[in-house]
Homo-oligomer: A and B are copies of this chain.
Amino acid sequence: MPPNVGRAVESAVDHRKGPRRRGEELENAILTATLEELAEVGYAALTMDRVASRARTSKAALYRRWSGRAELVLDACKLRAFPDGGLPDTGALRTDVIALLRRMSTHMASPFGSILRGLLAEMTSDPDFARLIRDRVHTAGPVTIRALLQRAVERGEVEPWILGSRRATVATDLLRNEFLLFGAPVDDGIITDIVDSVYLPLVLRPAPGPTGDAEH
């Protein structure tokens, strides 16, 4: 019945007395711990137990907020987004794009790279979750390069229809592919090769399209 009324001789070490965090404060501590774990051991080796103990909380507190590792990491990446550093603005499309790809490359060489791989693998299961990952993780590249293109259009370097074409994001798409296959950081020669022998010929002025291909 009420077994241990009295005294609890046990529990020599029980710091439930310490200032107990709640709500947002605790949540922030958990997300911070998650990012630290990601930086130290990467996504694949991140465990809920480790995050909980690093944040000096309990797994129960984690599972009350997130349904699993992937959701937790996703939120950690979302709120404390990795530094973006503003748009490159060198005055010419070529150097702008090279600067962007270089930045993406170093970004992928950070723990973020392993997160990317891990989340990509987990997209197999849930389509809704897959959409979430796509939206939160894979939009940075395309959004940024479209902004660079927009300025190039205003300078007259690029024809406006390119913005709505699949050509627009080829540079970041190829960089992502390169990273996934060969790892990061992506060699600088490869970056300039992507830009000079593929991307610029596709988007720069005199580049002709086959038929009227402004769709998507």
Chain A interface residues (CB < 8 Å from chain B): 42-44, 113-114, 117-118, 120-125, 127, 130, 134, 138, 165-167, 170, 173-174, 176-177, 180-183, 189-190, 193-194, 196-198, 200-202, 204, 207-213, 215-216
Tell me if A's interface is mostly helix, strand, loop or mixed: helix
Contact indicator B117/A121 (Cβ below 8 Å): yes
What are the residues of chain B within 8 A of A134 when measuring CB–CB?
181-182
| This chain: copies in complex | 2
Rounded to whole angstroms, the CA-CA distance of A190 and B169 in the bound complex is 14
Contact indicator B170/A174 (Cβ below 8 Å): yes
With A42-B124, A130-B183 as contacts: A170 and B198 at CB distance below 8 Å? yes
What are the residues of chain B within 8 A of A167 when measuring CB–CB?
197-198
